[in-house]
Homo-oligomer: A and B are copies of this chain.
């Protein structure tokens, strides 16, 4: 689990005791393409660290799918809202590729928070980071046109474009596949 530890190091350095306690709570799972690691109406009581694979976080609006986020290796994936509030998830989390994740349960995480102030801090930093992610995405919806959102995606995350079908990119940008096709055509 060196990958996970490295990811954490970006936020905060854990000593061996903290790390070992944390690692002991993780359970490894192999995931197949199209598996749902979280289903609508379930409570999300876990965080999952993605060792390998791509996931999408989506729900249905009327008939059509809306994708709130994609997650890649090195990311945490969870329904953070359901995780925090205990309410049932309105979203699904689906594997777009085969993969490997490490899960930790909410209850165990809370015990770790109590035991180590450093892990409590890590929890804060993770929450702050997630805040920044959604806040940026909110801005993109408030201030930018679909074409702007697409162009920024191309600039920032061209990897994503090559690995994910275009109609999902459209669902992520909040537009129809036809519109995305036209945005790409005109330029």
Residues in chain A within 8 A of chain B (CB atoms): 61, 66, 68, 80-81, 84-85, 113, 117, 120-121, 123-124, 127-128, 130-132, 134-135, 137-139, 141-143, 174
A61 to chain B, nearest CB (A): 5
Additional A-B contact list (12), CB under 8 Å, known A124-B124, A130-B131: A61-B143, A66-B143, A80-B131, A80-B135, A117-B120, A120-B120, A121-B124, A124-B127, A131-B134, A134-B135, A134-B138, A138-B138
Q: A142 touches which one: B132, B135, B141, B143 (CB < 8 A)?
A: B141
Contact call B174/A142, Cβ cutoff below 8 A: yes
**Can you list 12 A-B pairs, Cβ within 8 angstroms, ordered by A?**
A68-B139, A68-B142, A80-B135, A84-B131, A113-B124, A117-B120, A121-B124, A124-B127, A130-B131, A131-B131, A134-B134, A134-B135
Q: In whole angstroms, how far apart are the Cα atoms of A114 and B130 in the complex? A: 22
Complex contacts, A134 vs chain B, CB 8 Å: 131, 134-135, 138
Per CB-CB distance, the 5 closest pairs between chain A and chain B, nearest first, are A124-B124, A127-B127, A141-B141, A138-B138, A117-B117
Contacts of A80 in B (CB 8 A): 131, 135
Could you say which residues of chain B place their CB within 8 Å of the CB of A66?
142-143
Contact with A132, one of B81, B113, B117, B135 (Cβ below 8 angstroms):
B81
Give Cα A123 to B125, complex, Å. 9
On whether the beta carbons of B127 and A131 are closer than 8 Å, the reply is yes
A120 to B66, CA, bound (A): 35
Contacts of A135 in B (CB 8 A): 80-81, 134
